[in-house]
Amino acid sequence: MDNRAHTSSVDHLSLGGEKWVDAKEDHHDSNALHHFPTHDDVPQGKVQHHEYAQREGLPGVEQGDRGVANGADFHAAGATTTSHHVGRTRQFLGLHPQAPIEKEHDAGEHADLLLPRVRGALKEPLAEFFGVMILVLFGDGSVAQVLLSAGVTTAPGGNGYGDYQSINWGWGLGVMLGIYVAGDSGAYLNPAILFTNCVLRKLPWRRLPAYFVAQLLGGFVGAGIVYANYIGQINSFEGGPGLRTVPPAPNATAGIFCTYPLAEVTKVSQFFSEFIASAILMFVIFALKDDSNKGTFSASGSWFPLALFFLIFGLGACFGSNTGYAINLARDFGPRLMSYAVGYGSEVWSAGGYYFWIPMVAPFCGCLFGGIMYDLAIYTGPTPINTPWMGLKELLKPHELIGDRVQAQKNDGLV
């Protein structure tokens, strides 16, 4: 049996790009600061909506209902209005006051129902939550099946249900399907990807807390579902109910849920392994989403989730043995916290010389480095790297920088 089945579960993230556009300030009405179109105002056909969007000055709408947000393709979901109370809740959470919804719920027949209000207020965080949950379900599920069935002679082939490459398939599929689930939020699915987009792609910083919490909870719940599904096999594999051990113990099952390094890998190598895999991840994602660098083939839009599948599979096949390439705090810390809660004990934190902090910190460093390298070498769009002193000069006047950034976000319909 491959040694990494005991210690690795891989994963990640993704910058799927936001699928919606928002109403900008309307300067035609001197009696109102903002004019948000009602449901009846918005033409329902595609061509009519395109003409309406152009007339009303909605950002990023091109022929065929396509636009760009955060450097990523999206399909315009349609101009909508959101009730005052829902809008205030969304602003409190750092979201745009207008919910990215196809149909206006708040002005409908059942506008007073709880579900439409909750969905309107929390749509993007819920998308991140379920995207990460799906990601972890497939990823941790593949690790569980490979580890717990090792040596089972009744399996097809007579030696268990899968091998290390099965784990790479599981995580790759989990990321791909998670992107589809979380499309309206941008499908970041990874706090390090989220952070890098805030730094280099003008994603509003105030969105980070709500997305971050949603991603952590998604990882926690996804791992909990996998644990509930395999608890019988875990009991048998560990040697009895209530026995829970952590690598490098011979029958440890904690590696199903989060990553643990090989014993012979030094702390520096552990950090570098997570750092370089995260840097590659971010570098390639920025390349896939760069419309000015497509050449003869485009992997953005509908091709992007499939491209991420191959990227994650490749990272696992080439950079997974040292640490299990977590490269995502949400997929590692959330499940690690879950494993602690169900009885694996404090060793989930102390194992590997307190390794747990490395998959929390290294992905942020690696993703930011990878993003900066791409912007330095290839990217020609708006980024701090393409400003005087590569953005450092603007730090001398932070108030002007913040003001310009917020105005740019308003112009792009991000806030």
Among the listed residues 209, 249, 44, 18, the one whose alpha carbon sits nearest the alpha carbon of residue 127 = 18
Give the pLDDT of residue 314: 97
**Poorest-pLDDT segment among 39-43, 202-206, 246-250, 397-401:** 39-43
Give the pLDDT of residue 159: 82
> pLDDT band at 23, cuts 50/70/90?
very low
Q: Which residues lie closer than 8 Å to 215 by C-beta, 6 or more apart?
A: 128, 129, 132, 188, 189, 190, 191, 194, 330, 334
**Structure token digits, residue 373:** 């390298």
Residue 301 in contact with residue 67, Cβ under 8 Å?
A: no
Q: Which residues lie closer than 8 Å to 66 by C-beta, 6 or more apart?
A: 73, 74, 75, 76
Which of 133 and 40 is assigned the larger pLDDT? 133
DSSP class of residue 245 equals: -
Give the pLDDT of residue 161: 93
Give the pLDDT of residue 41: 41
> pLDDT band at 294, cuts 50/70/90?
confident
Distance CA 189, CA 182 (A): 8
Give the pLDDT of residue 411: 74
In terms of pTM, does the model score above 0.95? no
Among the listed residues 247, 215, 170, 231, the one whose alpha carbon sits nearest the alpha carbon of residue 334 = 215
Within 13 A of 271's CA, how many CA atoms are on the CB side? 10
**Structure token digits, residue 314:** 């490749």
* Average pLDDT value for residue range 183-199: 93
**Interior CA angle at 337 toward 331 and 341, to 5°?**
140
Q: Where are the alpha helices (DSSP H) in 340-412?
A: 347-354, 358-377, 398-411
Distance CA 62, CA 338 (A): 44
| CA-to-CA dists, residue 360 to 104, 332, 336, angstroms | 39, 8, 11
* Average pLDDT value for residue range 205-226: 97
Burial 362-380 (b: 16+ CB within 10 A, else e): bbbebbbbbbbbbbeeebe
Considering 60-74, 89-103, 115-129, the range whose residues carry the highest mean pLDDT is 115-129
The number of angstroms, rounded, from the C-alpha of 170 to the middle of its chain's C-alpha atoms is: 17
pLDDT at 96 over 90: no
DSSP class of residue 351 equals: H
Give the pLDDT of residue 399: 61
Domains of the chain: 4-17+123-411 (1.20.1080.10), 39-121 (no CATH)
Give the pLDDT of residue 78: 41
Distance CA 254, CA 256 (A): 5
The one-letter amino acid code at 167 reads: I
pLDDT 10s digits, 306-363: 999 999 999 999 999 999 999 999 999 999 999 999 999 999 999 999 999 999 999 9
* Average pLDDT value for residue range 284-301: 82
Residue 174 in contact with residue 166, Cβ under 8 Å?
A: no
Helix (H) or strand (E) holding 67: strand 66-69
* Average pLDDT value for residue range 191-213: 94
Distance CA 374, CA 279 (A): 10
pLDDT at 114 over 90: no
Give the pLDDT of residue 28: 37
pLDDT at 2 over 80: no
pLDDT at 16 over 70: no
* Average pLDDT value for residue range 371-397: 84
> pLDDT band at 76, cuts 50/70/90?
very low
Residue 197 in contact with residue 382, Cβ under 8 Å?
A: no
**Structure token digits, residue 157:** 């082939």
Among the listed residues 184, 196, 200, 194, the one whose alpha carbon sits nearest the alpha carbon of residue 215 = 194
pLDDT at 10 over 90: no
Average pLDDT, the chain: 80
